[in-house]
Structure 1
Amino acid sequence: MSQREQTIDRFPLSFRSDVSIKAEQTNFHPKVRAACAAKEAAWKRSMKACKAIVVGDVSVGKTSLVNKYCRNAFEPNSGKASIGMDFDVEKYRILGQPFTLQLWDTAGQERFKSIAKAYYKEARIIVVVFDLTRSESLQNSSYWLREALSGNVDADCDVYIVGTKKDLCSVGSYERREASAVALSEEMGAEYWPTSSLTGENVESFFTRVAVLGFEKSVLKALEKSEQSKSSSNDLIRITKKSSKRRKLKKSDCCK
């Protein structure tokens, strides 16, 4: 678990505006800004930690990607935990509000498939990782997305497709692989990011983007839930008042 708490007040942009979850958005939603600036805290009670799952083939660099971000460490030969799952927590203060992102790093081995699938539930963010030097790992990205969605009852997920090991690609090979990745990300409805856990290229920017979009969606859902709860309470008050008024009228009639 990281001990840092990152402060974020600016809305982070995507790597490529043409392959983005929110291509035209360059600032926080007005409702989110207003809610975070207001003293009213009712909506905050329904805010929960945001769960992100990291999936992909074996040895594509999932653990290295998470470790680079959470610990600023690069261990190219780091092994996967025997249970097939690693768990990290990142804390933020976004627009002055506390926010927690859970990063679930899943194993790609077949023998861990059933274990990993159990952890897909309630994920709000799916990060599909592939190796920019291995075309088959990109081709398998659609499979991993299907796997993640099949174990997740919440279909309203933000999806990212992340290429790793960019430092190992020549300019020509990267351009060819990026073209394929962009095409696939459009097909998957995902946002594309190329990264390098060795050099750190785009790692911080990517996860900051993930955290902010996860925060914004969580706040909007919490506001919606709060408004629905308030509306239900008002309806109950109106019904109660009408019932009380009817009882008073009946009592008055009986006394005539």
Structure 2
Amino acid sequence: MLVGDSGVGKTCLLVRFKDGAFLAGSFISTVGIDFRNKVLTVDGVKVKLQIWDTAGQERFRSVTHAYYRDAHALLLLYDVTNKASFDNIQVQQHPQDPSAMGWGWLWVDSAQDRVVKREDGEKLAKEYGVPFMETSAKSGLNVELAFTAIAKELKHRSMKLPNEPKFKLHDYVKKEVRGSGCCRS
């Protein structure tokens, strides 16, 4: 489930991942909830992701919060050019019981006019015990990686054998992001 304020790029991120395209210009905000499916092959196994795109407007918050308890993953998005969108992630978007949610992510859309420091996002992610990466729907930076990491985590959860070592999502994200030599805007 993609969660964040209106205008942070939830729909753009989903369209970039699903269709490989960037939504340029203005478009209509998501009303309520929308979703798209995509199947990825992870370690030879097909994983179907159903990605829910939530409305960011205040008037839809009660509707989107109702879906949190059934989500297998939350992707928390904010815009690095909008401090309020980052503050709202901290105050309004984070579930009351993160252990019930399993795990989440903190995301941003890279931009030239940054007002939220990368370190602030990393600190918040550490507080919540979730991985962090910066993405850009416009350039495609880390978009595929982020959803692949989610698919790997979900595959591992559903297919874990008793003696199989635990999949370490944090380590996977750190290794892959570091290996791509990116994530600075």
TM-score by length of 1: 0.57
Partner of 1:195: 135
Change in CA separation of 1:71 and 1:155 when aligned onto 2, cut-off 3 Å: same
Partner of 1:178: 118
2:34 is equivalent to residue 86 of structure 1: yes
Residue pair 2:74, 2:101 contacting (<8 A) in 1 also: no
Partner of 2:103: 158
Q: Within 5 Å, which residues of 2 pair with 1:194-213?
A: 194-213=134-153
Question: What do the CA deviations read for 1:154-203 (whole angstroms, capped 9, x no partner)?
Answer: 71512100011x1x226xx47x6101111111111111111111111111
Higher relative contact order (CA 8 A, sep 6+): 1
Q: Distance in 2 between matches of 1:117 and 1:105?
A: 12
Partner of 1:43: none
Which structure is larger by alpha-carbon Rg, 1 or 2? 1
* Unmatched 5+ stretches in structure 1: 1-52, 225-256
Question: What do the CA deviations read for 1:47-96 (whole angstroms, capped 9, x no partner)?
Answer: xxxxxx110111111111111110112114232343x2110111123232
Partner of 1:138: 86
Q: Distance in 1 between matches of 2:119 and 2:95?
A: 22
TM-score by length of 2: 0.78
Change in CA separation of 1:144 and 1:156 when aligned onto 2, cut-off 3 Å: closer
- The alignment's C-alpha RMSD in Å is 2.1
Amino acid at match of 1:158: W
Q: How many residues align?
A: 160
Q: Distance in 2 between matches of 1:113 and 1:156?
A: 17
* Unmatched 5+ stretches in structure 2: 163-185
Aligned residues with identical type, % of pairs: 31
